Structure 1
């Protein structure tokens, strides 16, 4: 059953062409896949969509990958994409559910309330034989006013404090072999392992067929990974993308997200002053 965070292909098809609706293609692929969201967008996208590049619309001065953009950057880029105040947004990606969650989280962190993720993404849209466009988007510029809500972001110090005093569960969405330290990180210069005291819920365990599992199935999955939905949760991952999928899953299952650790393992695993553990949680 769709929630305020999710929408269906039928619902989107019925709304297409509404000037108050902004459709956003957030497709992004891991560096080792050889796939590029912008190029694929030009080949085929949902009619009227614009492309949101999480690597470019980011705090590029941070030295970390696709960090939350600063207010001025987001205002400029959203406006140029024709995404403005008073609009509602639907976000999708090529993989069904991956980077769409990151843009969903970004917009919510900046005060947008009317933002939903397309269940099944572009893959489902294509499978159903729905219309597509190609080429670049040419949106009419609008004004977007960002209003940052700091509660969506967990800083390095807040993560350290939560791990030390247990005030929130720090849950890592990376694959289990990377969490245990059995597999190398895809980014150079990062140690292998996890934050001591953190828990692991690989994002592949909460997604099936390119869609988030049902709320009941999510509750069972959280319980199986010893995560208490009645207690606050900080989400983390490799670089803040699958941590947003995990944040979505926590909300859909009825839990409370205390914040997403934006630096994630790209920051923690690259700092000598951050301890690293290996093995299971």
Structure 2
């Protein structure tokens, strides 16, 4: 099985791939956080639906934390996904909510043959490419169970980040939230959280990485190129509000050659809890 060098696939390339109809192709709709999800009415090909709130650690009070390897494997096996599947993930917003997160989850559990549809459903529709408007299918479970191989270097917990922020010569922490949230000049959308940012972290707003006209990831964005330089010889950790848009930064960095970026899964939902007394900077 050949692993793609890029984690992105363009709509016209996916259309050609669908026409070839390889039996190991699985499309995944990873739409999250939108008011009117369209999956039940329309989808690309025979896409299955991946809900990051469902495929999650339900024993953890934090939102959509990654599940254990066995739970992840069981969930994706039920979707018809095998270890030899070539997976294309898309979402209704483009790539951020939450195609990039699902891409990262597959990589976290050892599956590299996974790509994100660049521009997602909005660009697919804008290009006039076909939609499947038949009733949403009931997934057929894979006959061979998916085997998840955990890659711990691709994820961080609170303890690891608490150590990393004190060692800026060894770690670069990037925060994908908006500049005003990073600065602590506005209240967090979740009212129980403190405002501010992890000390020694740097702000790269995830929306700046996305072309507003096409919803595509902007290749080699100058801000990300600067982070590549700043992170040379260091471990890079990305964070955000709840571990979703941090994966957009991980995806952008992957496209620029850094495939070893760790995502802080709990992100600000964990770090900003007043009860944890985490170190917090403002400004």
Normalising by structure 1, we get a TM-score of 0.90
* 1:250-261 correspondence runs (5 A): 250-255=253-258, 257-261=260-264
8 Å Cα contact 2:228/2:253 also seen in 1: no
Q: Could you say which residue in structure 1 is the equivalent of 2:49?
A: 51
CA drift of 1:36 comes to 5.0
Q: 1:136 to 1:223 in 2, by over 3 A?
A: closer
Q: Give the one of 5, 10, 13 matched to 2:12.
A: 10
- The list of structure 1 runs, each at least 4 consecutive aligned residues, that deviate by more than 4 angstroms after superposition, is 223-227
Q: Could you say which residue in structure 1 is the equivalent of 2:217?
A: 212
Matched, 1:266 2:265: no
CA drift of 1:223 comes to 5.4
Distance in 1 (alpha carbons) for counterparts of 2:259 and 2:29? 27
Question: As a proportion of its length, which structure holds more helix?
Answer: 1
Q: Could you say which residue in structure 2 is the equivalent of 1:160?
A: 162
Q: Could you say which residue in structure 2 is the equivalent of 1:236?
A: 239
Which stretch of the first structure deviates more once superposed, 252-261 or 41-50?
252-261
Which stretch of the first structure deviates more once superposed, 80-89 or 97-106?
80-89
Q: Could you say which residue in structure 1 is the equivalent of 2:73?
A: 75
Number of residue pairs the alignment of both structures matches = 269
Matched, 1:87 2:92: no
Q: Deviations along 1:13-45, whole A, 9 cap, x unmatched?
A: 12223220010000112xxx6x154xx210211
Distance in 2 (alpha carbons) for counterparts of 1:161 and 1:257? 18
Where in structure 1 are there 5+ consecutive unaligned residues? Answer: none
8 Å Cα contact 2:250/2:261 also seen in 1: no
- Give the aligned CA root-mean-square deviation in angstroms: 1.8
Q: Could you say which residue in structure 2 is the equivalent of 1:116?
A: 115
Distance in 1 (alpha carbons) for counterparts of 2:29 and 2:125? 14
Where in structure 2 are there 5+ consecutive unaligned residues? Answer: none
Normalising by structure 2, we get a TM-score of 0.90
Which stretch of the first structure deviates more once superposed, 225-234 or 124-133?
225-234
Q: Deviations along 1:150-182, whole A, 9 cap, x unmatched?
A: 111112111111111222111100000111111
Distance in 2 (alpha carbons) for counterparts of 1:208 and 1:232? 27
